[in-house]
Structure 1
């Protein structure tokens, strides 16, 4: 019998305004420690130097992480024109330079090709796996390798400021798996001037916004205190994109045991994914079929 992890039986979401210079996993571990929680996980990795929304799930809320990971996310970032780096951001080594500087009109025109359903090649310094190895590991070892292009949905990509000839600030709303560094790199190539990300901030992720995020220093200050719990969002916020169904008492009992349970539904159709609640608490996520929810995830609250 496996050893049970020590800690509080606490569930919910904490939105952290991640500072630069720390990994997303380190933030999630810090949150778990601060709440003395048994389990924690984040929804959507940010590069160590990136800032902004990092949503961390605790306890049973970790079962809703995929729904936040799949949700649209928004980024504000500044592209340094005229230079390409080996990491596609300011942390890397400059590998190419150009004196060319596009006009605002040229930038606006070039952005059109990066909207909608596009194919994107992730940066070589990324966590993509190549034959079982992380790409960044191979890149550090100066191995010669290629990364296949991957589909990405970009809902919006707009220029919002032009600081000077060398810098342009953009905002992007995209789906799962987008690499902002790749957008900067490919935009620079499209404009014939090279480019890399100077700074990057995630301004929202699904239902979570940066303005709702707790400062990392405050997280440390309030660690292991009752006051920190007031910053926790309920588990069901992670299910914001799914319809809520009301389970009957018998249905809730069946759902908690992993069986299909009767629910009261109005705005869902056969085969829709939804979640069920009973007495104000989430019970399960699953697929609605003929008056019942067939659970895929059950919450033990």
Structure 2
């Protein structure tokens, strides 16, 4: 059965779940999940987990993400991007210097109000489901972190490109909307391409057409998600048996921290935490039955 990670360059017009459904059909594997939703209009890096690798989805969702985005000034829409209904148009007097100055105010720890057209749940209902019925509910601001925010080229007097490295939960649509409010002319997202997610970049991404032609050969090993952690190999059959039974093992002298743990024959067994002088306790197991 296929197991591993695919780094898909998501095409425009597809939902992230559309991509997963396509992959289920190509690889004939029911267990397929993605590591971080992209809106249909967006393109770029979508990590997809196949087979036993779906156990690692949670680790992909929590990492930093990087985007190249297009901000259109003078426009306010109900979805905060150009696919929505236009609510307002305003004259644009801001220039490049004004946009750069506004961007500076959004770097670091900020708070965002989730857009109504999002999958955030309030009282068990997804916001986009309420929005489609014409309802708007109060949403509490949520903390996010903008690690890097860089103004790129101006494509016109109203259209600007920027690069954003941000934390989980950041809405680039909302960032564009809030930038527009700061500048006093309104703003909406007109293009979005994710260039990095879960540590994987566009240079590593493949298309659905590539997958159709090459199949399972494009699957990356599950441990490629955790390459930023050091590796440890168990030292004896007894230790490996304990790990496979979910029990802690002692590796005296091991520095506290998170490790990739491998069996004596090189099998990736689990992600573990070392503490208390070298006691390794499993965070999550990834070996087969």
TM-score normalised according to structure 2 size: 0.94
Name the stretch that deviates more: 121-130 or 26-35: 26-35
Unaligned runs of 5+ in 2: none
8 Å contact from structure 1 (residues 21, 48) kept in 2: yes
User: How many Å apart are 1:263 and its aligned residue?
Assistant: 4.2
Q: Deviations over 1:264-287 (max 9, x none)?
A: 765x31xx3323112222111232
Q: Deviations over 1:45-102 (max 9, x none)?
A: 0001110000001122222222221211110010111001000111100101111231
User: How many Å apart are 1:158 and its aligned residue?
Assistant: 0.9
- Report whether the alignment pairs 1:273 with 2:258: yes
Q: Given the alignment, which residue of 1, 23, 27 partners 1:31?
A: 23
Q: Given the alignment, which residue of 203, 224, 232 partners 1:245?
A: 232
Q: Given the alignment, which residue of 72, 84, 87 partners 1:95?
A: 87
Q: Name the counterpart of 1:4.
A: none
Q: Given the alignment, which residue of 168, 175, 187 partners 2:167?
A: 175
User: How many Å apart are 1:244 and its aligned residue?
Assistant: 2.1
Q: Given the alignment, which residue of 261, 274, 283 partners 1:288?
A: 274
User: How many Å apart are 1:150 and its aligned residue?
Assistant: 0.6
Q: Give runs of aligned pairs for residues 197-212 of structure 1, distance below 5 A.
A: 197-212=189-204
Unaligned runs of 5+ in 1: 1-7
Q: Name the counterpart of 1:297.
A: 284
8 Å contact from structure 1 (residues 207, 240) kept in 2: no
Residues 63 and 263 of structure 1: CA distance in aligned 2, closer, same or farther (over 3 Å)? farther
1:136 and 1:115 mapped to 2: Cα distance?
27
Q: Name the counterpart of 1:5.
A: none
CA RMSD of aligned residues (A): 1.6
- Report whether the alignment pairs 1:55 with 2:47: yes
Q: Name the counterpart of 2:140.
A: 148
Q: Name the counterpart of 1:195.
A: 187
2:115 and 2:227 mapped to 1: Cα distance?
31
How many pairs were matched up? 285
Residues 263 and 59 of structure 1: CA distance in aligned 2, closer, same or farther (over 3 Å)? farther
